[in-house]
Structure 1
Amino acid sequence: MLRIHFSSGDLARTRIAEEPDPLWETVLSLQQLREKSREPVLDGWRRRRCARGGRALRTLSPLMPSRGYFPDFLTPAEGSGGLESGIDAVLSTPRRQLCGELELLADHNPLPSEVRRLAEGETGALRRLGRALRDYHASVLEPGWRDIASRIEGDRRHRTETQCRLGTEEMLRSFAPLMGWQSPVLCADYPVERDVHLQGRGLLLVPSYFCRRTPVALLDETLWPVLVYPARPLCSDTPAAPSARLAPLLGHTRAAVLQALQTPRTTSELARCTGVSVSSASEHATVLRRAGLVASTRQRHHVRHTLTQLGDHLLTGVQLGRIPPPSASRHHGRA
Structure 2
Amino acid sequence: MLRFHFSAEDVARTRVAAAPHALWEIAASLHRFQTPAGRWAYAHWYRTARERLRQAGLESAVRQFLLPLYPRASYWPDFLTPLEGVAGLEAGLKAILATPPAQVTAELAALARIRRVPAHLARLPERESRTELVSVLRAYHRAVIEPHEEWMHEGVHTERVRLARHSLDGGTEGLLGGLGPTVRWRHPRLEIGTYPTEHDIRLQGRGLLLIPSYFCWKGPVSLADPALPPVLAYSLHHEPPRPTAGSPSLEILLGRARARVLRATAAGATTTEAAHRAGVTPATATHHTTALRDAGLITSHRHGNSVIHTLTLLGATMLSRNVREAPPGTGS
Q: 1:133 aligned to 2:137? A: yes
Q: 1:197 aligned to 2:202? A: yes
Q: 1:186 aligned to 2:190? A: yes
CA distance in 1, matches of 2:136, 2:210: 27
- Following superposition, the deviation at residue 80 of structure 1 comes to 0.5
Q: 1:91 aligned to 2:97? A: yes
CA distance in 1, matches of 2:88, 2:170: 30
TM-score, structure 1 normalization: 0.69
In structure 2, give the amino acid aligned to 1:83.
L
CA distance in 2, matches of 1:93, 1:184: 33
**Residue in structure 2 matching 1:80, options 74, 82, 86:** 86
Q: Which runs of 5+ in 1 are unaligned?
A: 256-314, 319-335
Q: Relative to 1, partners in 2 of residues 1:220 and 1:239: Cα closer, same or farther, differing over 3 Å?
A: closer
**Other structure's SS at 1:186 match:** strand
- Following superposition, the deviation at residue 103 of structure 1 comes to 0.6
- Following superposition, the deviation at residue 124 of structure 1 comes to 2.4
In structure 2, give the amino acid aligned to 1:110.
R
**Residue in structure 2 matching 1:238, options 266, 271, 279:** 266
TM-score, structure 2 normalization: 0.70
Runs of 4+ aligned residues of structure 1 deviating over 6 Å after TM superposition are 315-318
Q: Relative to 1, partners in 2 of residues 1:232 and 1:317: Cα closer, same or farther, differing over 3 Å?
A: closer
**What corresponds to 1:170 in structure 2?**
174
**What corresponds to 1:225 in structure 2?**
230
**What corresponds to 2:127 in structure 1?**
123
In structure 1, give the amino acid aligned to 2:299.
R
- Following superposition, the deviation at residue 210 of structure 1 comes to 0.9
**What corresponds to 2:25 in structure 1?**
25
The more displaced of 23-32 and 104-113 is 104-113
**Residue in structure 1 matching 2:301, options 244, 247, 251:** 247
Q: Which runs of 5+ in 2 are unaligned?
A: 240-262, 270-292, 316-332
Describe the superposition over 1:47-93 as per-residue Cα deviations: whole angstroms up to 9, x where unpaired: 33324331440321111112221000000000000000000000110
**Other structure's SS at 1:102 match:** helix
**What corresponds to 1:292 in structure 2?**
none
Describe the superposition over 1:100-154 as per-residue Cα deviations: whole angstroms up to 9, x where unpaired: 0001111121122221111xx2232111101011010011111122222221221
- Following superposition, the deviation at residue 165 of structure 1 comes to 5.6
Describe the superposition over 1:195-233 as per-residue Cα deviations: whole angstroms up to 9, x where unpaired: 221111111100000111211010101111101110122
CA distance in 2, matches of 1:211, 1:43: 18
RCO (CA 8 Å, sep 6+): is it higher in 1 or 2?
2
The more displaced of 168-177 and 73-82 is 168-177
In structure 1, give the amino acid aligned to 2:6.
F
CA distance in 1, matches of 2:117, 2:228: 25
